[in-house]
Amino acid sequence: MDFTLSEEEQAYRQELQRFATKVLAPHYQSDDKAAKLRPELVADMAGMGLTGLRIPERHGGQEASAVIAGMAAEEVAHGDFNAAYLIIVSALVSDILTRNATEEQQAAWLPPIASGEIVPAFCITEPEHGTDAAKLEMKAVPDGDGWRLTGEKTSITLGMSAHSALVLARTGGPGARGVSAFWVDLDERYVSRAAFDDLGSRAIGRASLHFDGLPVPREALVGAEGEGFVSVMQGFDYSRAIIGLACLGAAQVSLAEACQWARDREAFGHPIGKFQGVSFPLAEYATYLRGARHICYEALWRKDNGIEHGTEAAMAKFWAPKLAAEAIHQCLLTFGHLAYSSESPIAQRLRDVIGLEIGDGTAQVSKLVISRNLLGRTYAP
């Protein structure tokens, strides 16, 4: 891999850094307290092209590489970790639609995502089926030339704010081959929402969505009937590396703050950084974070170059959120009592990144993928 950024890429990174510092960071904590997604945040992100990164230019997007999408999530998370969700979800949904929807469908669905007019959601998880998503129970009941969706989806990121969603529902028999994907408007006449009172990422509005016979026309079917599960799951491989970089972005800014505190704070006549008990943990986490960051970018680079990247994406997903939580925790301890407060951005980052240790694939599933690729299916769980 060539780790050198082009002049254009370096300029883009610097532009993102300014945007995150000046536009996003001032609202990070107040948005958490308000516990709702600000429309202005969506508009600001769309204005920077961040909601259309993976959308083709012909449909109003940036047609950016996976590496650039990861870079954007990392830099945005420096200022507002939760704003990175708009990149993660938009990139995942738009990538799936670009690969599986017809050109006519793409022309109708992708431009509003790119412009920020539509906030998308991704509806897979159900009350009884999370990791074992192939067993989902939401029904798509035939109705004329279409279907009606009935059932519940839960733990939906952006569930309280999304206008449209990619929904998996059962059109056939048991198992993955009985599942189809639909792009639907979340019409309030047929869809009710219930928000979670979460530990972190409260501005994102995680929710349960109850579908009460939502009518879905045939033209809303994404790909072939019965192929929704397989086509959708393929999108997760690279998005998990983007998730990893968002978590690492939050950890990196916390580490920078802790290092500055180690220079400024004095105890026993010296800056506290002079004490190995303070400086060595920071040195250790700086090393670990760099290693995890390389894995994330390798996964995205492999995606861009058409090389198998499932193992690297799984490594990124299980390690980066876990490491980020541990690193931010250490940064909080470096500050001591000052950071143990709801007023501390470090404390909020800790609460926020924990959510992505759970969402979009648990560590156990990631390790299962890694072990099967490492040992072979015959010798792995």
DSSP track, 23-82? IIGGGHHHHHHHTS--HHHHHHHHHTTTTSTTS-GGGTS----HHHHHHHHHHHHHH-GG
Phi-psi region of 216 (alpha: psi -120 to 50; beta: other; left: phi over 0): beta
pLDDT for 221: 97
Evaluate whether 181 touches 231 at the Cβ level (below 8 Å): yes
**Same domain for 252 and 358?**
yes
Residue 306, number of CB atoms within 10 A of its CB: 7
- Domain end (from 100, 118, 136): 118
Q: Are residues 372 and 260 in the same domain?
A: yes
Same domain, residue pair 296 and 358? yes
Q: Identify whether the C-beta of residue 367 lies closer than 8 Å to the C-beta of residue 380.
A: no
Does 295 map to a domain?
yes
Distance separating alpha carbons of residues 22 and 212, to the nearest angstrom: 43
**What is the overall mean pLDDT for the chain?**
95
Q: What angle do CA 83, 245, 96 make, to 5 degrees?
A: 75
Out of 16-20, 84-88, 160-164, 229-233, which region has the weakest mean confidence (pLDDT)? 229-233
Q: Could you report the per-residue pLDDT of 3-24, keeping only the tens digit for each? A: 788 899 999 999 999 999 999 9
Q: Does 176 map to a domain?
A: yes
Q: Is the pLDDT of residue 360 over 90?
A: no
Compute the residue count for the chain. 381
Whether residues 247 and 373 share a domain: the answer is yes
Q: Where does the pLDDT of residue 129 fall: very low under 50, low under 70, confident under 90, or very high at 90 and above?
A: confident
Last residue of one domain, picked from the residues 103, 118, 133: 118
What is the Cα–Cα distance from 60 to 44, expressed in whole angstroms? Answer: 16
CATH number, domain containing residue 250: 1.20.140.10
267 and 369 inside one domain? yes
Query: What CATH number is associated with residue 175?
Result: 2.40.110.10
Distance of CA 321 to the CA centre of its chain: 11
Residue in 121, 298, 150 with CA at minimum distance from that of residue 214: 150
> Does 375 share its domain with 234?
yes
Q: What is the DSSP string of 230-272?
A: HHHHHHHHHHHHHHHHHHHHHHHHHHHHHHHHHHH-EETTEEG
Q: Does residue 200 sit in the same domain as residue 141?
A: yes
Distances (CA, A) of 47 to 70, 126, 142, 235: 18, 33, 40, 25
**Phi–psi pair at 7, nearest 5 degrees:** -60, -40
Is position 33 within any domain?
yes
Q: How many CB atoms lie within 10 A of CB 355?
A: 24
- Stretch 283-296: mean pLDDT: 98
pLDDT for 8: 92
Same domain, 134 and 106: no
Contacts for 14 with CB less than 8 Å, ≥ 6 apart: none
pLDDT value at residue 1: 59
- Look at residue 2 and tell me if it is in a domain: no
What would the DSSP string read from start to end of 301-321?
HHHHTT---HHHHHHHHHHHH
pTM above 0.75, yes or no: yes
Task: Note the pLDDT tens digit of each residue in 311-355.
Answer: 999 999 999 999 999 999 999 999 999 999 999 999 999 999 999
Domain-embedded: residue 49: yes
State whether 112 and 166 are in the same domain: no
Q: Which residues of 81-109 are buried (b: 16+ CB within 10 A; e: fewer)?
A: bbbbbbbbbbbbbbbbbbebbeeebbeeb
Q: Report if residue 75 sits inside a domain.
A: yes
Q: What percent of the chain has pLDDT over 70?
A: 99
Whole-angstrom distance, CA of residue 219 vs CA of residue 217: 5
Q: What is the pLDDT of residue 10?
A: 93
Total domains in the fold of the chain: 3
Do 203 and 184 share a domain, yes or no? yes
Residue 377 has pLDDT above 80, yes or no: yes
| Per-residue pLDDT tens over the stretch 21-79 | 999 999 999 999 999 999 999 999 999 999 999 999 999 999 999 999 999 999 999 99
Centroid of chain to Cα 374 = 26
Q: Judge if 135 and 111 occupy the same domain.
A: no
Q: What are 114-126's pLDDT values in tens digits?
A: 999 999 999 999 9
Residue 64 falls within a domain, yes or no? Answer: yes
* Domain membership of residue 184 as a residue range: 121-226
**CA-CA distance, 209 to 79, in Å (whole number)?**
30
Considering the domain boundaries, does residue 1 fall inside one? no
- Out of 226, 241, 269, a domain closes at 226
Percent of the chain with pLDDT over 90: 90
What integer is the mean pLDDT of 288-312?
A: 96
Q: Are residues 276 and 365 in the same domain?
A: yes
pLDDT in tens, 229-272: 888 887 778 899 999 999 999 999 999 999 999 999 999 999 99
